[in-house]
A and B are shown apart, each in its own frame.
Chain A
């Protein structure tokens, strides 16, 4: 089955810095890669996603890149703000089905 590795487990940055979270996956059949943000006491919320026919996608301060050959994808947050502090999860989902495999999560702490 699919295996998703996520690094780092904890990331501490100063406000205004950039943050990068990386994930690798094992199943070449995976073709949908969502990223979720989970704030304390809340459920995960989709913040950006990318499909296998796209190499990069941006949404304001957030971007995701995908390298299908190397089987890795990354989340980039620029100009971080304290409200970006949360746990971020990556996931990989095979085409035509719904059995997502999640990374273990990255706790992002943005210091004012």
Chain B
């Protein structure tokens, strides 16, 4: 168990809908990262938050947004969903804000858009 909790584990929704994925980082970790994993694109970095502030942005679509709350949990919001958004979404957390520290991954949320 990495200590990172993601909910829900599975999500099935229709095209055009909006969903929210939730992540609770390990106790004491200030950084949260979101990744998308699909068969054709591999593991793609989406966005990072550090202590409530956006720190780095990767390949995140404009239809997607995220935030980190004062209690350090984070939510990833996906809107106007398309079939191609079906993927595994991972959250990871680390103590520091820089990349040269170990990041611990949650078990992921499997999103299926039908």
Contacts and interface: CB of A to CB of B under 8 A. Distances in A.
Interface residues of B, number: 25
Interface in B64-99: 90, 92, 97-99
A103 B31 CA distance: 22
A48 to B, nearest CB: 11
Contacts of B90: 43-44
Given A43-B2, A45-B105, A99-B56, A105 B42 contact: yes
Interface of A: 31-32, 34, 36, 41-46, 49, 51, 89, 93-105
Interface in B20-71: 31, 33, 42-45, 48, 55-56, 58
Contact of A43 (B42, B45, B58, B105): B105
B58 to A, nearest CB: 6
A33 B99 CA distance: 10
Contact of A93 (B31, B55, B99): B99
Interface of B: 2, 4, 31, 33, 42-45, 48, 55-56, 58, 90, 92, 97-100, 102-108
Contacts, number: 61
A21 B58 CA distance: 26
Nearest to B96: A98
B33 A103 contact: no
Nearest to B57: A99
